[in-house]
Chains A and B, each alone.
Chain A
Amino acid sequence: MGTNEKERDILELRNISKSFDGKKVLDDLSLSIGRNEFITLLGPSGCGKSTTLRIIGGFVRPDEGAVFFEGRDITNLAAEKRNVNTVFQKYSLFPHMNVEENIAFGLKLKKKSRAYIQDKIRYALKLVNLEGYEKRNTTALSGGQQQRIAIARAIVNEPEILLLDEPLGALDLKLRHDMQQELIRIKKEVGITFIYVTHDQEEALTMSDRIVVMNKGIIQQMGTSKSIYDEPQNAFVADFIGKSNIIDGVMPQDRVVEIRGVKIPCVDEGFAARESVDVVIRPEDLEIRPESEGFFAGQVVSVLFKGAYYEIKVRTESYEWVSQSVSAPPVGARVGLYVLPDNIQIMHKPKSEDAEIIRE
């Protein structure tokens, strides 16, 4: 990493390990986060994403490793002394204070002037579209409104980094989509680093500049939404980011993969001779053709209408495939399954048991 790039980074986690009750939650995790980045830690529950966030927030001390903020070691700095603020999943607004008092909490502790605090409250409520809510009782607000207040309460302190711990997890789907757009807008307006934790892959793909996919305390893959979706580096990532068909195969030679005795052209090369691999095919890339034209033949076992597309399950001898298509064959029909060479991802098998893939 060059010096210029180092300067851009606002936060660095270096070789962080953490165990709870002898169970390893984070295993030698290293991560650099750039200034003004919207970075998402994505993974299933128990993958260590929340612990990572809590280490950055100062609520958990790592067993090993260090946290650097603008090049300064803050590993042992108390939470209240860090220039980061958190938006909690359960909002955690103070029930004995009204909206205004909640937002002013951090500023009053910093002994800011009354006029400054009033200005900030007005600005923050405008930012989260809740102008005129100053005197409201927080317990009387809806979940979405409470979360907006929680965001306002954090933002007024002008943190360098805003930590968001599954902030939309408790909201219903429609509201969640609205709030995603809101958060992107707020991020643009305040221009600070957002570190976002979620288990919702769609949310991660929509909002992030960069996604860090985690499982079992290890970073599985880091990259932009598009690179993670299009080029998953292992079967776990492929499976976790969207539905996928993941099946065992071997590589008899470059650019050919063999699945259950069927040789299929692909674009991957550089594997050992007859190496066992995971083959990933996205449902939208699996085409349904007449029985004679596919690599595999099978029977349609279910068709689900999903709004913009149909989700079609096809059972072949070896596997139950999922395909997405705008048109659907009738249930019970015999069909062929076809995939373009470009749309096949070949992945090395995970080496350790820890990185074992999840299958449905």
Chain B
Amino acid sequence: MKRKYFATPYIIWIVGFTVLPLIAIGASALTGDDGAFTWDNVLAIAEPINRQALFFSLAIAFGCTILCILLAYPAALFLKNFRFQRKGFTIFLLVLPMWMNFILRILAWQMILSKNGILNFLLAKFGASPLAISNTWIALMIGMVYDFLPYMILPIFNAISDIDEDLIEAARDLGAGGGEVFRKVIFPLSVPGMLSGIVMVFVPAMTSFVIADILGGGKLQLIGNIIEQEFMKSMNWHLGAGLSISLMVLVLVGLAFTLRNDMEDGGTAIW
């Protein structure tokens, strides 16, 4: 059983960077300033200001996920059917922005969308009236969709690419036209990819705060912003940890529910 030793670095990693921090957060969340046990920090999520931020985050994350699916699915289909030799290169171009600093990319959107930004400059050129979307939820949504879209395209593209061409031929052989092939074969077989995409987009969208900070101009309060403020401004780590734990549990429960539902519907067994 010498092989066991190979796992050691990973175990150290998991213990050091996942298990211990979780315990620390949990301990912090379940104690007050006096060090005594309390549920208050965890239950603080139900307070009006926190609850409002939570619902706003849910709405934004939900909308962002839907928009990403709507944009990513046709893109993935298009990439798959691309007869063009440089398919790999096109995907590389898609991924390339992800290698640039995330803050920089969001700052670029701030410049594009701001009152005297590039968008309004171009609109003025064409004689259109300027748009006041800077520091609104629309700006936040644009930034989030821009940032998370590749995480939706890639898994859907992979799932579609993995569909054996023979299955499509078999469907046609059995009498399915183009639309039926899509509805009965391509779409159902792409669902696992879409679920991965949903997890990779919804969860970060739900918990992020930097995009809201920059594109919301401090006016938009996602639950992530509130947690950040508890840690960085109010220095109330117990409350911040409590809200974090609540958020994590809510997200886990929500995902478990969504993914299990899919399995019962006769979807895929991948989860």
Render A103-137 as a binary contact track against B, CB cut-off 8 A, 1 for contact. Answer: 00110011000000000000000000000000000
CB atoms of B170 and A80 under 8 A apart: no
Interface residue B264 (Cβ < 8 Å from any Cβ of A): no
Interface residue B122 (Cβ < 8 Å from any Cβ of A): no
Complex CA distance for A85 and B170, rounded to whole angstroms = 9
Interface residue B27 (Cβ < 8 Å from any Cβ of A): no
Known contacts being A94-B185, A96-B188, A96-B268, is A106 close to B167, with CB within 8 Å?
no
CB atoms of B169 and A94 under 8 A apart: no
Complex CA distance for A95 and B184, rounded to whole angstroms = 12
User: How many whole Å from A161's CB to the nearest CB in chain B?
Assistant: 12
Interface residue A205 (Cβ < 8 Å from any Cβ of B): no
Contact of B175 among A92, A96, A110 (CB under 8 A): A110
Complex CA distance for A57 and B166, rounded to whole angstroms = 13
Known contacts being A90-B164, A92-B166, A92-B167, is A79 close to B189, with CB within 8 Å?
no
Complex CA distance for A84 and B268, rounded to whole angstroms = 31
Complex CA distance for A90 and B267, rounded to whole angstroms = 23
Contact of B169 among A88, A93, A153 (CB under 8 A): A88
Interface residue B172 (Cβ < 8 Å from any Cβ of A): yes
Residue of A nearest to B177 (CB): A80
CB atoms of B167 and A79 under 8 A apart: no
The residues of B that contact A146 with a CB separation of less than 8 Å are: none
User: How many whole Å from A246's CB to the nearest CB in chain B?
Assistant: 37
Residue of B nearest to A89 (CB): B166
Most buried by A among B173, B175, B176, B185: B173
Contact residues, B148-207 vs A (CB, 8 A): 164, 166-167, 169-177, 180, 184-185, 188-189
CB atoms of B167 and A94 under 8 A apart: yes
Interface residue A157 (Cβ < 8 Å from any Cβ of B): yes
CB atoms of A80 and B175 under 8 A apart: yes
Complex CA distance for A81 and B170, rounded to whole angstroms = 13
Contact of A96 among B166, B170, B189 (CB under 8 A): B189
Complex CA distance for A157 and B171, rounded to whole angstroms = 13
CB atoms of A109 and B174 under 8 A apart: yes
Complex CA distance for A154 and B169, rounded to whole angstroms = 13
Complex CA distance for A57 and B175, rounded to whole angstroms = 11
CB atoms of A105 and B174 under 8 A apart: yes
Contact residues, B111-156 vs A (CB, 8 A): none
Contact of B171 among A57, A105, A110 (CB under 8 A): A105
User: How many whole Å from A304's CB to the nearest CB in chain B?
Assistant: 38
Residue of B nearest to A101 (CB): B266
Complex CA distance for A14 and B166, rounded to whole angstroms = 27
Interface residue A244 (Cβ < 8 Å from any Cβ of B): no
Chain B residues touching A, range: 10 to 19
What total of A-B pairs shows CB separation below 8 Å? 60
Complex CA distance for A154 and B177, rounded to whole angstroms = 17
Contact of B166 among A78, A79, A81, A88 (CB under 8 A): A88
CB atoms of B167 and A109 under 8 A apart: no
User: How many whole Å from A134's CB to the nearest CB in chain B?
Assistant: 15
CB atoms of A105 and B172 under 8 A apart: no
Interface residue A59 (Cβ < 8 Å from any Cβ of B): yes
Complex CA distance for A65 and B169, rounded to whole angstroms = 23
Interface residue A198 (Cβ < 8 Å from any Cβ of B): no
Known contacts being A105-B184, A109-B180, is A94 close to B170, with CB within 8 Å?
yes
CB atoms of A92 and B268 under 8 A apart: no
Complex CA distance for A175 and B214, rounded to whole angstroms = 66
CB atoms of A59 and B170 under 8 A apart: no
The residues of A that contact B188 with a CB separation of less than 8 Å are: 96
Contact of A95 among B171, B172, B180, B189 (CB under 8 A): B189
The residues of B that contact A88 with a CB separation of less than 8 Å are: 166, 169-170
CB atoms of B164 and A79 under 8 A apart: no
The residues of A that contact B268 with a CB separation of less than 8 Å are: 96
Interface residue A201 (Cβ < 8 Å from any Cβ of B): no
Interface residue A86 (Cβ < 8 Å from any Cβ of B): yes
User: How many whole Å from A6's CB to the nearest CB in chain B?
Assistant: 28
CB atoms of B173 and A79 under 8 A apart: yes
Contact of A59 among B169, B175, B176, B189 (CB under 8 A): B169
The residues of B that contact A110 with a CB separation of less than 8 Å are: 175
The 7 tightest CB contacts between A and B, nearest first, are A106-B174, A92-B170, A92-B166, A109-B175, A79-B172, A86-B173, A80-B172
10 more CB-based (< 8 A) A-B contacts, given A92-B169, A154-B173: A80-B177, A81-B175, A86-B169, A95-B167, A96-B189, A105-B171, A106-B175, A109-B174, A109-B176, A157-B174
Q: What would be 24 A-B contacts, judged by CB atoms less than 8 Å apart?
A: A59-B169, A59-B173, A80-B172, A80-B173, A80-B175, A85-B174, A86-B169, A86-B170, A88-B169, A88-B170, A90-B164, A92-B164, A92-B166, A92-B167, A94-B167, A94-B170, A94-B171, A96-B189, A96-B267, A105-B174, A105-B184, A109-B175, A110-B175, A154-B174
